[in-house]
Amino acid sequence: MKAPTPNTLLARGLIVLLMALTLLPFLSMLSAALAPQGTYPNGLQWPADPQWSNFVKAFEVAKMDQLLLSSALIVLGVVPIAVLIATMAGYGLAKLTSQKYKWLYLIFVFGLTLPFEAVITPLYYEVRALGLLNTRFAIILPLIGLYMPFGVYWMRAHFLSVPHDLTEAAQLDGATRWKEFVLVQVPLARPAIMSLTILLFLWTWNQFLLPVVLVQDPMQRTMAGALGAFQGQWGTDVPLLCAGSLLILLPTVLLFLIFQRQFVAALMQGAVKG
């Protein structure tokens, strides 16, 4: 092996530093989570007697099992439908739209420029008018809509890159538009659909503002949203709060470890396609 040059050593040093900076808050949380109850740990030293039971207690008081189920229900309600609609709309805008209606796509791009926070107040009144406040639908339905600009943009970009010859070959082979979509376009779009699924999953799972505003009952929220309620209730018990937060983080981290390669691919794709 070649001896590393000073530059690579510096680069590696910086990476290690960055890693430490990223991990430090979590380690600090962990040390605080292991402190005995009733203390106010500063999070800078490892407790002499680590209280692993704090995690069990946090799991119980936060009703983590119910929260997991609630989060899963919300993700299952949002992601498949959003991905399906985005895929179909992306195909339609990329392959079925004549020159005259290309501007339709701009409406979706316009949606990308709207900050989420700007629509939260009108959204509240709308959800209330629909009588959906305090149900999971108050999270699911708005999220599907809010993901459309990005989802459609993402899938359209993919379908534009599929050579037109394939569409024509399928047509000559006897495929209707619908069959071409199902049998040719969707299988080819699998990488794009996978990355979109992963991104939407992540955003839904980490959804905080929407559940906090639209749903009062923490048990109907996503895990991250429930953290808000947890904090209000147990804000003075720092070890318990830290343990609970770490538990809420855990599913995302586990999923990331399992789907590491797909995650990175999804993010890289975003980098290239801009």
Partner 1 sequence: MAGLTLRSVYKNYGEVPVIKGVDLDIDHGEFVVFVGPSGCGKSTLLRMIAGLEDISGGEVSIGDRVVNDVEPRDRGVAMVFQSYALYPHMSVYDNVGFGLKLAGTPKDVRDKKIRDAAKVLQMEHLLDRRPAQLSGGQRQRVAIGRAIVRQPDVFLFDEPLSNLDAALRVDMRMELSRLHHDLNATMIYVTHDQVEAMTLADTIVVLRAGRVEQAGTPLSLYDDPDNLFVAGSIRPRMLGRPLSVWEPAPCPANPLTVFALSPTARRKPTLPLTGSRHAMATMQSTPPMWLSRWAATA
| Contacts to partner 1 by CB under 8 A | 163, 165-166, 168-176, 179, 183-184, 187-188, 190
Q: Are 97 and 105 in contact (CB under 8 A)?
A: yes
Compare residues 49 and 165 and give the one whose CB is closer to partner 1.
165
Between 60 and 168, name the residue whose CB sits nearer to partner 1: 168
Please count the CA atoms within 13 angstroms of the CA of 30 that sit on its side-chain side. 8
Residue 7 or 99: which CB sits closer to partner 1? 99
- 29 and 242 in contact (C-beta within 8 Å)? yes
Q: Cβ of residue 174: shortest distance to partner 1, in angstroms?
A: 4
Helices (H), ranges, 5-115:
6-33, 53-61, 64-91, 104-113
Rounded to whole angstroms, the Cα distance separating 130 from 215 reads 14
Least distance between partner 1 and beta carbon 90 (Å) = 18
| Two tokens, residue 44 | 């800078």
Q: CB of residue 159 vs partner 1: minimum separation in angstroms?
A: 15
Tokens of 257: 């470890």
Nearer CB in complex with partner 1: 57/177: 177
Closest distance between partner 1 and the C-beta of residue 96, in Å?
Answer: 15
Give the Cα separation of 16 and 2 in Å (integer).
Answer: 21
Q: Which residue, chain included where needed, has tokens 């791009």?
A: 109
Task: Output the smallest distance, CB 116 to partner 1, in A.
Answer: 36
